[in-house]
Structure 1
Amino acid sequence: MGSKLAAIAPSPLRVSDLINPELRCWRASLFKAPEKFKTFLWRVGTNALSTRENLLNLLEVDDPTCLLCNQESESICHLFLKCPIARALWFSTCWGFKAEEHTLRSHSDIVQLILNPPPSLCPAYDQWLVSLNMAFTLDEIWQTRNALLHLKAPVDIQASRQHILSKLRECSLFLSQPEPPTHETPILRWSPPPPQGYVKINTDAAIPDSRSALAVIARDDHGAILKVWARITPIHPPLQAKALALLWAVQLAKRERWSHVFIEADSKICIDAILSGDKDQAGSIPHIVFDIHDLALSFLSWSFYWVRRSCNQATHVAAKFALDSHISCFFILGNLPPSMSDVCKEDALNVFSFS
């Protein structure tokens, strides 16, 4: 799905550009979503879907009742909000949202609900993510209805819920990717992440003769050390060791419950394999790349970037410290070894040149 999303190249267009101009109440609204779902929302808002009630006005339809529940005429309002199947899906996928508690009299009211969802639904999410989830739910109801009509497929609320969750995770990752920093000259030292609120994580691996060491350093957007991890592992080929360090970084970030992460490494092969998702490009590390992608879905947003070795000195020092000490270790800002403290201070000084 990732490659398809990239081809869509969605932009936060005004919904008023898609919806009938006479619906002026939407003129100031923004909807951040792939074009497919903007178009679908336009069809809902203009009552352009081929529901049985709409077809009744154009064709000879023997039975206009809802395909999902067989209780009422299949209008847009009934299909998406009043049908018991639709209500069950809303409740299971939209944080307990109860459609019956909202007075929605027209198809335009449905779009208003998507664009301006109740703030109590999921306060931990940005509004555009809540709107995106609700748009996916709307689309899934329509897809379920069509599958029943054309394929006689049974209604499966749990399967539909998984479809929506998968779309939300992948689309939110793609749409919330921060742009990499642009500079006229190459970056030669560590720099803070461009978006405020992100945790920047650097990874590295050291591979001497008989063992490997992995290192992970997490810093906030001001350059302050959050945590440093380093551990001894059995000997690995260099590429695998670098990939394992990236995997460990993602595991640690998930354990720390960081939701917005910016992960860097000085192995271009590893980073290119993660970004492309190409098994051939992954070489000997496809299973590690797969695990990284799988775990990254737990974040609200993430980015992977290749950096020069000079931008990754702190993690190199951390890995070397673990090798020289023959132990795995964990540090916070107050107990950094001198060698590590010096390089981190030097990196922190560089933050001011980007502020």
Structure 2
Amino acid sequence: MHLRNKQVDVDPCCPVCGEEDETIEHLFLRCHVSRSCWFVKLGVRIDPGTLFTDFMREVLQQRDSWVVAEVQNMIYCLWEARNRWLFEERKFDFAMVIARTQTLGIVAPVTANAGEEPRHGKATWSRPAASVIKVNVDASMGRDNLAGFGFVARDGDGEILAAGSKYPSVASSSTIAEALGLRWVMEISSQLGFRRVQFETDSLQLYYAWKKGTGRSVLFSVIHDCISFLSLFDFVDLSFVRRQGNACADFMARNASTLSDVIWIEEGPPGLFCLLQADLLASVPVLS
């Protein structure tokens, strides 16, 4: 648009969709590819009337530095993909943009005490041992203390075995929501016949509370319920992964209000599959 205003003869239409003039709002917020990226990656629905400056102002006011970093990451990848489409005729779709964001290595902040193991928690999803099923779980807090839960279960080859969501549940804090999500998914996993399970969370508070095991609070009451499920399994472990390594469960939790109470067997909702593919590629063993 700036070039057109300077009387430079260029096509003002979006080179991706060709439906509207390519403004900063259209490219990053309104084009169907961009809208799909925001929804699938972060569960964000963009209002068509949102100005880019207002969007960024709201993002920068977020207290979660990981969210700010992910938004900046997405904007960079959208711009990069647009230029490759325009100048190199490379395919431009939301799955490729999201896969690209997974390669840039944003590190989620954690608050563990110095020297403790989770501070060096993995930043990407990793495959479990051959005989173990990894179940990633996450919770998302909304208004009125309503939380949504999500999980994705995969085997040692990275193949999806099950995925599910639950909404709504009432939780007094995000950590309580994470614990309630763990309790829910442990029960679901036992019903699905999983016997050797590695549950994985991006909640550092939940991880430490699980390791501690006892205490006097609502959180430890929920953890005690989780412990009561241990007899249903032959092996159980809880591991910590940084948030970008929990992207699939995060997607299920963030969209739980629209996915509702559904369990998918060996499949999941359409928006999940590009995230599964990104995890699969990131977890390929390195040959020495």
Q: TM (normalized to structure 2)?
A: 0.54
- Name the amino acid aligned to 1:303: D
SS, match of residue 223 in structure 1: coil
Q: 1:313 aligns with which of 247, 272, 277?
A: 247
Between the aligned partners of 1:319 and 1:270, the Cα distance in structure 2 is 16
Structure 1 residues 87-121: Cα deviation after superposition (integer angstroms, max 9, x where no partner): xxxxxxxxxxxxxxxxxxxxxxxxxxxxxxxxxxx
Per the TM alignment, residue 212 of structure 1 is displaced from its structure 2 partner at its CA by 1.3
Between the aligned partners of 1:288 and 1:269, the Cα distance in structure 2 is 13
Q: 1:256 aligns with which of 192, 195, 213?
A: 192
Q: 1:270 aligns with which of 181, 193, 206?
A: 206
Per the TM alignment, residue 318 of structure 1 is displaced from its structure 2 partner at its CA by 0.8
Q: 1:223 aligns with which of 134, 143, 158?
A: 158
Larger radius of gyration: 1
Q: Are positions 1:304 and 2:242 aligned together?
A: no
Q: 1:235 aligns with which of 165, 170, 190?
A: 170
Per the TM alignment, residue 332 of structure 1 is displaced from its structure 2 partner at its CA by 3.3
Q: Are positions 1:291 and 2:225 aligned together?
A: yes
Tell whether the 8 Å contact from 2:195 to 2:235 is kept in structure 1 after alignment. Answer: yes
Between the aligned partners of 2:283 and 2:259, the Cα distance in structure 1 is 32
Tell whether the 8 Å contact from 1:192 to 1:200 is kept in structure 2 after alignment. Answer: yes
Structure 1 residues 49-97: Cα deviation after superposition (integer angstroms, max 9, x where no partner): xxxxxxxxxxxxxxxxxxxxxxxxxxxxxxxxxxxxxxxxxxxxxxxxx
Alignment of 1:130-141 (within 5 A): none
> Runs ≥4 in structure 1, deviation > 3 angstroms?
none
2:75 match: none
- Name the amino acid aligned to 1:342: C
User: Against the structure 1 CA distance between its residues 288 and 217, is the aligned structure 2 distance closer, same or farther, given a 3 Å change threshold?
Assistant: same
Structure 1 residues 257-291: Cα deviation after superposition (integer angstroms, max 9, x where no partner): 222110110111112111221315xx431211111
Q: How many positions carry a matched residue from both structures?
A: 167
Between the aligned partners of 2:170 and 2:201, the Cα distance in structure 1 is 19
SS, match of residue 284 in structure 2: helix
2:126 match: 191
User: Against the structure 1 CA distance between its residues 186 and 206, is the aligned structure 2 distance closer, same or farther, given a 3 Å change threshold?
Assistant: closer
Tell whether the 8 Å contact from 1:251 to 1:295 is kept in structure 2 after alignment. Answer: yes
- Name the amino acid aligned to 2:124: R
User: Against the structure 1 CA distance between its residues 317 and 326, is the aligned structure 2 distance closer, same or farther, given a 3 Å change threshold?
Assistant: closer
Structure 1 residues 133-192: Cα deviation after superposition (integer angstroms, max 9, x where no partner): xxxxxxxxxxxxxxxxxxxxxxxxxxxxxxxxxxxxxxxxxxxxxxxxx9xx86221111
Per the TM alignment, residue 245 of structure 1 is displaced from its structure 2 partner at its CA by 0.7
SS, match of residue 352 in structure 1: coil
Q: Are positions 1:245 and 2:181 aligned together?
A: yes
Q: Are positions 1:338 and 2:266 aligned together?
A: no
1:209 match: 143
Tell whether the 8 Å contact from 2:121 to 2:241 is kept in structure 1 after alignment. Answer: no
Sequence identity, in percent? Answer: 22
Between the aligned partners of 2:259 and 2:247, the Cα distance in structure 1 is 20
Q: Which has the higher contact order (CA 8 A, sep 6+)?
A: 2
SS, match of residue 269 in structure 1: helix
SS, match of residue 237 in structure 2: strand
Unpaired segments ≥5 residues, structure 1: 1-181
Q: TM (normalized to structure 1)?
A: 0.44
Between the aligned partners of 2:246 and 2:197, the Cα distance in structure 1 is 16
Alignment of 1:1-355 (within 5 A): 187-193=122-128, 195-210=129-144, 211-236=146-171, 237-280=173-216, 283-323=217-257, 325=258, 327-334=260-267, 336-353=268-285
Tell whether the 8 Å contact from 1:207 to 1:235 is kept in structure 2 after alignment. Answer: no
SS, match of residue 218 in structure 1: strand
SS, match of residue 215 in structure 1: strand
